[in-house]
Structure 1
């Protein structure tokens, strides 16, 4: 997630022409984007958006990709109707905007989605995937929801909790080598802490020459040199979920 010094440059590579294959539904008190695979499935992934919110075409594109690989994908509005950040917003107001949108204060919404998936979709295995703000949220879920079987945190770290290395479920952490939002120094601290304190499967992977947002916010056809890294990261995401689900 963005920090005070380096605001999140997640507005690069927008897939604004993408419409999505799923539908918007009401899940208790929150709106959500839900897309299901062509054949039935008892596996689902909670897709957690970045600061630009649940309607962003890029994020729905990733949800659709998960559905194409056999998962029910649900992307809830974790801001619960509050305005997401906008590329035109005043970055000097970013921390103020964040105050009531903490990625670690989402339990009520998570519980509603879990009920929906189990009671209305017949799901038995649930994973999570999140980007930037959502990557922090995935880390939070792995610390608090052991029955969420696997997580993929993409450029997101919880730093303020002493127990942030004590994962309860497997997590793949994906980072970019040239990410000014989550610098390599923070990634190194995470790696060391997980090595010392984490007893479940985990992996930290750093993609060379990439910058923040590359997995979901950069079109794979923008730059030929980026394409292999984008596709590899997405493949890693799917392989991790498949391994534990």
Structure 2
């Protein structure tokens, strides 16, 4: 079966899907508007199903002998009370390792982000991926339900939990004390936020994430590697102001826009995945962290 890509969908359908994913359209609204673009026997419902994530194939199995993975819990005095995350490290650790805090999209700690954490461990880091939805029962196993739950979070408490996770990352048994953060979509926004608010973070990589207010950029004292998609009009609209603030405050940053890519291009569970651009962005990300978190 041929895998669908973003090119198989009308650009307007992709825009509607982006609005749906980010809460600007509900399911009924998406179906009502997407129907006009359904051709060749397709329906609005089948378009939504085709665009939604499929977790059938994961790059690194949870039982892969090269890694050690577990779910861990910590007290979170700044947030909801208990912080739960997925902790993955190489099976054989012979020296202290940097930790990468992995921040999920607006659906919680789903199988895709767990897979990302395992990939990071194979690149020689400890990966710690907290679940923002844990106070509400955790990732529910359904993307629509996850988005509904996400809207019920107290974002102030949730941000505090991720700041606490950065502190926890420095205390893990095999941790070197150097911590980076990589986040995707909502998590990209959290990566930008932590760059302004978590002193334990030494480097940050936001993938297509919301930029922080310009007034907060002066607090950024760490290097950034920022990935955006060429066709992501919503996120890129905030870039000019962010860039101006980064330059004004002499922040060390690199910025890459991936040609032809859609928002979410790194997520290999949906048709918006762009294999070539994702591979390049991932290599840049790993090289960046290896350089900035060494020692």
TM-score class, shorter-chain normalisation, is 0.7 to 0.9
Match of 2:216 in 1: 163
Mapped to 1, the partners of 2:115 and 2:172 lie a distance apart of 26
Match of 1:231 in 2: 279
Give the alignment of 1:163-202 within 5 angstroms.
Answer: 163-164=216-217, 166-182=219-235, 184-197=236-249, 199-202=250-253
Mapped to 2, the partners of 1:148 and 1:156 lie a distance apart of 17
Q: Conserved in 2, the CA contact under 8 Å of 1:146 and 1:169?
A: no
Match of 2:123 in 1: 69
Give the alignment of 1:142-157 within 5 angstroms.
Answer: 142-157=195-210
Which structure features the higher share of helix residues?
2
Match of 1:218 in 2: 268
Mapped to 1, the partners of 2:106 and 2:20 lie a distance apart of 11
Matched, 1:88 2:101: no
Mapped to 2, the partners of 1:152 and 1:33 lie a distance apart of 19
Q: Would the alpha carbon gap of residues 205 and 38 (structure 1) be closer, same or farther in structure 2, given more than 3 Å must change?
A: same
Q: Conserved in 2, the CA contact under 8 Å of 1:139 and 1:157?
A: yes
Residues 153-199 of structure 1: CA deviation (Å, up to 9, x unaligned): 111123445223541211111110111441x33222222221222x3
RMSD: 3.1
Mapped to 2, the partners of 1:78 and 1:156 lie a distance apart of 16
Q: Conserved in 2, the CA contact under 8 Å of 1:104 and 1:140?
A: no
DSSP-derived class of the 1:149 partner: strand
Mapped to 2, the partners of 1:159 and 1:109 lie a distance apart of 16
Q: Give 1:219 deviation, angstroms.
A: 5.2
- 2:184 aligned to which of 131, 139, 155: 131
Mapped to 2, the partners of 1:35 and 1:142 lie a distance apart of 23
Match of 1:23 in 2: 70
Q: Give 1:124 deviation, angstroms.
A: 1.7
Mapped to 1, the partners of 2:171 and 2:234 lie a distance apart of 36
Structure (1 or 2) with the larger CA radius of gyration: 2
Matched, 1:204 2:251: no
TM-score by length of 2: 0.68
**Tell me, which stretches of 5 or more residues in structure 2 are unaligned?**
1-17, 24-50, 64-68, 76-81
**Tell me, which stretches of 5 or more residues in structure 1 are unaligned?**
none
Residues 30-85 of structure 1: CA deviation (Å, up to 9, x unaligned): 2211110133232111111111111x111111111110011000101123332558
Q: Would the alpha carbon gap of residues 97 and 176 (structure 1) be closer, same or farther in structure 2, given more than 3 Å must change?
A: same
How many aligned positions are there? Answer: 232
Residue range with higher mean Cα deviation, 130-139 or 145-154: 145-154
